[in-house]
Amino acid sequence: MAGGEQFGPRDLTSRSPPGKNLKLVYLTACHGGDAAIEWREALAPATVISFDRNSAVLEHAFWLWFRAPGVVAELE
């Protein structure tokens, strides 16, 4: 999106609905979790991980390296 516009759950589902095999979505956008309910509804039945605050790059790296494998294992 140009000019500082935000991309939200409605934009996604109207342009390209998620596939039925989608299992996990990790949103790295700061405050992406402000619309957590809408993202979960738009991406159901996938598990959606998001933050409702500013989040540092290292926090995402930590999650992806140490927490994500356990979450993915639970989804299989």
Do the strands 47-49 and 24-26 form a parallel or antiparallel pair, or are they unpaired? parallel
Cα–Cα distance measured from residue 14 to residue 67, given in angstroms and rounded to the nearest whole number: 31
Terminal Cα-to-Cα distance of the chain (whole angstroms): 33
Q: What is the pLDDT of residues 16-40, one digit of tens each?
A: 778 888 999 998 877 778 888 998 9
Q: How confident is the model at residue 4 (pLDDT cuts 50, 70, 90)?
A: low
